[in-house]
Amino acid sequence: MKFIAIIPARYASTRFPAKPLAMLGGKRVIERVYEQVAGVLDDAVVATDDKRIYDAVRAFGGKVEMTSVSHRSGTDRCWEAYCKQGGVFDVVVNVQGDEPFIQPSQLEALKHCFENQNIDIATLVKPFTESDGIDALENPNSPKVVLDNEGRAIYFSRSVIPYLRGVERECWLTEHTFYKHIGIYGFRREVLRAVTQLPQSPLEIAESLEQLRWLENGYKIGVGISDVETIGIDTPEDLARAEEWLKRIG
């Protein structure tokens, strides 16, 4: 199978405007994301709606497409960018433009999910550890996932799932393996086309999680498990932490 990474990157952001262009260890965040995926998948392209980002990607030699400013989600932007590519790919991988530390092992785990012909979409999770603490588990900005016996997603939630009845809250992380969602998705080409046509669903609206729309419409989401810790850049404070982490890892 052939895989292409599409990296949606918007200039406008409520919490951190212009974050794809922010500097991290002497390079722009979007350049670091691009470098992490370009050598692992068969192709990679940034999808943006802003000429400043377009010009920045061209300046470091990356591939980039200008897309509509009216897209509701990064998934819609991915489909437009994919349609502008000349080649045909079996799987389109949506890599967030604020994940400069996404690792090759994580991309390989995502690719592995598609060896199962019954999987339509794939994503990644990381087990919470006891050292993460209960506050991290209960953080609504860190969605949780429950899996079935075949490694498929049953549900995503901003709440802690499952609820451990009869277990003291402080002991939850020692009594059960909870999974934190990592926001990277792979779609079979025709599945990506189809999901962009779906209206918002009740569960998606309730939790503000786009992937619930796909589950509600019957799509099978395979899940790869990763033990790699990455730092997403959502705020200027995240960028500062990422800068320190980059110094530590050399």
Could you tell me the residue ranges of all domains in the chain?
1-102, 104-181+200-229
pLDDT for position 230: 79
CB-CB contact of 98 with 29 (8 Å): yes
Kindly give, in sequence order, each residue whose CB lies less than 8 Å from that of residue 78, ignoring residues fewer than 6 positions away.
6, 8, 47, 92, 94, 187, 192
3-state helix, strand and coil shares in percent for the chain, rounded to the nearest 5 = 35, 20, 40
pLDDT for position 229: 78
C-beta neighbour count of 51 within 10 angstroms = 10
- 3-state SS, residue 21: helix
Q: What is the pLDDT of residues 114-130, one digit of tens each?
A: 999 999 999 999 999 99
CATH label, 104-181+200-229, candidates 3.40.50.720, 3.30.70.100, 3.90.550.10, 3.50.50.60: 3.90.550.10
Mean pLDDT of the residues in the chain: 94
Take residue 241 and report the two structure tokens written for it: 């932490």
Q: What is the pLDDT of residues 9-22, one digit of tens each?
A: 989 877 788 999 99
pLDDT for position 105: 95
User: Residue 176: pLDDT band by 50, 70, 90 thresholds?
Assistant: very high
CB-CB contact of 210 with 204 (8 Å): yes
Alpha-carbon gap, residue 221 to 243, rounded angstroms: 33
Fold match flag (1-102 vs 104-181+200-229): yes
Take residue 209 and report the two structure tokens written for it: 């999680």
Fold of 1-102: Spore Coat Polysaccharide Biosynthesis Protein SpsA; Chain A (3.90.550)
Judged on CB neighbours under 10 Å (0-12, 13-18, 19+), 203 is middle
Alpha-carbon distances, residue 70 vs 45, 73, 76, 237 (angstroms): 19, 9, 10, 29
CB-CB contact of 97 with 22 (8 Å): no
Beta strands in 42-85 (DSSP E): 43-48, 64-66
pLDDT for position 246: 87
pLDDT for position 106: 96
The two beta strands, 121-127 and 153-157, are unpaired
